[in-house]
Amino acid sequence: MAAPAITAVADAIVTVLTSNGFTEAERRWLPYVKLTYLADRKTVVIPKLETLTEDGARSGQDREYTLGVVIQKHVPADLEAAVATLVANVETLIAACDVEGFLRDATPADATFLDGPEFPRGVLYDPEKLLDPRIFFSALTLRYEYLE
């Protein structure tokens, strides 16, 4: 079976997210949207990098896919409850990503999960964006390896 394109992997992640309550999830090339569109939560899957390496031992090729998942929402001035809900959303997404066999039904059987979600600076969200313009912004990175 040929390795899937990175966009196919991103679309598979969107499918899994929509079935886990992130019904607004979509694949985009850039995560940024107009502030007026952030009245509702936005979840974006971004295909970032596809790396191809030769494996001399198996005379095959390995592909590594790096994808970003961004959750964004404009929060009200009284942001405590809103942020608590959004952090819970991020934790739900992390739990889905950490489940054994994540994407098993949506990707080829020999694609393996390399790493758990990674966060910039080790945080679930960017607190500075909450100040102005009051945007909840959480970004994580997923990496998958496909062995041919």
List, edge to edge, every strand of the sheet that includes 42-55. Answer: 26-27, 42-55, 60-74, 135-147, 111-118
Q: Is residue 13 part of a domain?
A: yes
Domain holding 23, by residue range, is 6-147
pLDDT in tens, 54-97: 766 655 677 788 888 888 888 887 788 888 888 888 888 777 66
Q: Which residues are CB-neighbours of 116 under 8 A, at least 6 positions away?
A: 94, 97, 98
pTM here is 0.74
d(CA 1, CA 47): 21
* Backbone dihedral angles phi then psi of residue 110, each to the nearest 5 degrees: -95, 15
Q: Which CATH number fits the domain that encloses residue 10?
A: 3.30.2000.30
- Judge whether 69 lies within some domain: yes
* Residue 1 maps to a domain: no
The radius of gyration of the chain's CA atoms, rounded to the nearest angstrom, is 17
Number of structural domains the chain divides into: 1
> Shortest CA distance to 73 belongs to which of 13, 1, 133?
133
User: Residue 97 domain-assigned?
Assistant: yes
The string of pLDDT tens digits covering residues 86-128 is 888 888 877 766 544 444 444 445 544 444 455 444 456 777 7
Would you list the DSSP string of 98-114? HSTTTTTTTS-TTEEEE
Structural domain contains residue 113:
yes
